[in-house]
Structure 1
Amino acid sequence: MISVIGTGPGSRMMLTRQAENAIDRAEFLVGWPRLLALFPDFIGERMEMSGSIDLMLDWLRCNKRRRVAVLASGDPMLFGIGKCIADAIEPGYRECLPGISSVQLLFSELGLAMNDVFITSSHGKQPNFDFLFAHSKVALVTDKSIGPYQLAQQAMIRDLRCTFIIGERLGYADQRISIVPPHKVEMEYDMNVVVILNERQ
């Protein structure tokens, strides 16, 4: 059984009991080094993910009858690796154990409702900025190419009155949340989630 486990935003304290049990039962623990480091007491075999998702999926297909725990940051089905594994491994040989996403954590820290938020990602793709800014409340998981600064520049080009909320390293002891207008958004932030509140809506 391939168990895709949402590890939450970075703190082992945010892991569900169901996820902990799946890890305890696993023969193999698969993940990026940052996630594997959360489980120094794991007694099975560890496998670091390489840059090739295809190679990992091939290995999972060959080992779907073993007890394998694949670690995913946040919630695996919110712009995570969960969809790739669900497409590659047939039902009956996989399960997905959701975790707390960084988007959820940021909204909870702010006391801000998620009922009306449009959630998307800029990972490896160019957003449709006009569509993005048409929403009154947007949350984005960002990457190095399209991050808070690039989004803020696009907001200023459109002369938008909006507020940027940038959550960095959410779930870690050194997490930081900045609430600023577009012209005060800095060029560099650590791994982050951005919430944009459009004040014209």
Structure 2
Amino acid sequence: MAGIVKVVGTGPGDENYITPIGLETIKLAEILVGGQRLLDTFANDGQEQFPVDKDLKKAIEYINEKRYSKNIVVLVSGDTGIYSLANYLTKHIDPDDLEFIPGISSIQLMFARIKKPWNEAQILSMHGRTLDIVVEVVKQSKMTALLTGSPWTPQKIADYLISEGVLDMKVIVGKDLSYPWEILIDTTLQELAKVEEDYSNSVMVILNE
């Protein structure tokens, strides 16, 4: 249908984790819009590409210019419904002109890896946030899942929680989830704060048991 923009959740990283309908939707696109990493992973020969950077307004203008004449698919990492560009799109394009195709989020995969249900977990993205919001959430929740990112690495978050009196909690960090080289670190806040390896852009699950 003319003017409809399809938004595909591409999964947690490795292309093997994208859903079949998501992959087929991408193959049929004439234009792909998304972050450069996603374009490099999923674009096919002959497809136009529009890399999305911090200038989201420019991306919206491009989509609106092209969507009535060409089949546009917007790529978002993970799932369309959790800390996604899709939310921004709904504020600037009529939702009736959007079709969301969900994907597997890194949060979902993390809980599958640690074999725990996540229906009661409190979920926060640390991108663009300050650390003070984390303390009360962690103290009041049995389970907190954090999407970490610069400058708030899991180690810095652990160090801050310790400084605020959160001392004896178990923590599991999942880095590079879905890739063959993914790692899981099952430890405590105190031990994690001492680790020097780069664990940025990971999923961090804190257990208040």
TM-score of the superposed pair, with normalisation by structure 2:
0.89
Amino acid at match of 2:49: R
Question: Residue in 2 aligned with 1:101?
Answer: 105
The letter of the residue matching 2:175 is E
Provide closer, same or farther for how the CA distance between residues 145 and 116 of structure 1 changes in structure 2, counting only shifts above 3 A. same
Q: Within 5 A, what are the aligned runs for 1:60-71?
A: 60-65=63-68, 66-71=70-75
Q: Quick one: which of 115, 121, 143 aligns to 2:119?
A: 115
Check conservation: 1:10, 1:172, Cα contact below 8 A. Answer: yes
Give a deviation string over 1:6-57, Cα, whole Å, max 9, x none.
0001122211122122112211011222111222534321222233111111
* DSSP-derived class of the 1:189 partner: coil
Which ranges in structure 1 are unaligned for 5 or more consecutive residues?
Answer: none
Task: Return the TM-score normalized by structure 1.
Answer: 0.92
1:6 matches 2:9? yes
The answer as to whether partners of 1:168 and 1:192 remain within 8 angstroms in 2 is yes
- Distance (Å, rounded) in 1 between the aligned partners of 2:183 and 2:19: 24
CA gap of 1:144–1:83, structure 2 versus 1, over 3 A, is same
Letter in 1 for 2:136: F
Cross-structure match for 2:134: 129
Matched letter for residue 203 of structure 2: V
SS of equivalent to 2:67: coil
Give yes or no for contact 1:4–1:76 (8 Å, CA) kept in 2.
Answer: yes
Asked if 2 retains the 8 angstrom alpha-carbon contact of 1:129 and 1:154, the reply is: no
Q: Quick one: structure 1 residues 40 and 87, their matched pair in 2 at CA, closer, same or farther if it must change by over 3 Å?
A: closer
1:178 maps to amino acid: I
Q: Report whether the alignment pairs 1:54 with 2:57.
A: yes
- Point out the more displaced range, 57-66 or 7-16: 57-66
Aligned to 1:154: 160
2-structure distance, mates of 1:29, 1:129: 35
The percentage of counterpart residues that share the same residue type is 28
Q: 1:159 to 1:193 in 2, by over 3 A?
A: closer
Alignment check: 8 A CA contact 1:64 1:93 kept: no
- Counterpart amino acid of 2:173? I
What's the Cα RMSD here?
1.6
CA drift at 1:63:
2.3
Counterpart CA distance in 1 for 2:36 and 2:109 is: 22
